[in-house]
Amino acid sequence: TQLLEQSPQFLSIQEGENLTVYCNSSSVFSSLQWYRQEPGEGPVLLVTVVTGGEVKKLKRLTFQFGDARKDSSLHITAAQPGDTGLYLCALKTSGSRLTFGEGTQLTVNP
C-alpha cells in the first residue's frame, strides 16, 4: 500500500490549458512538499505546505493543502511546454526521511 497516491499518473495537454494533479494519503501528515523533476535531472523543490487549508502560489502554480491534511493538489494555469516534467509529492516520515509518491508525468504540447 502506497503511503501517498498521486493522480493522474500521466497527463498530456495542449499549451494554454489548465490542469490539476492530486496527492492523497490515508494518514494525516504534518507537512507535504511538491517537487518537479525534468528528464535527466533530479527533483527540484517547488513548495512546502504545512497548515491545513493552506494555499500557496508560485507564478502560474497554485498549491493547496486539504483541511484535514490528508490531501493536496497542484493547479497549473495556462500550461506551457516548460512545465513538462514529473510532479512528485513527498512527506517527511521518520527523522528527515522523505517518502515520495509515484508522481504525475505531465506533457505540455506546443
Partner 1 sequence: EAGVAQSPRYKIIEKRQSVAFWCNPISGHATLYWYQQILGQGPKLLIQFQNNGVVDDSQLPKDRFSAERLKGVDSTLKIQPAKLEDSAVYLCASSPLRRAGASYEQYFGPGTRLTVT
Restricting to residues 11-40, which ones interact with partner 1 according to CB under 8 A?
A: 33, 40
- Residue of 13, 62, 70, 100 interacting with partner 1 (CB under 8 A): 100
- Show Cβ contacts of residue 100 under 8 Å, excluding neighbours closer than 6 positions: 4, 35, 43, 88, 89, 90
Asked if residue 43 binds partner 1 (CB under 8 A), the reply is yes
> Which cell numbers in the block locate residue 52?
491545513
- Using the rule CB under 8 A, is 95 a contact of partner 1? yes
Q: 22 - beta bridge partners?
A: 7, 73
Among 1, 59, 68, 97, binds partner 1 (CB under 8 A): 97
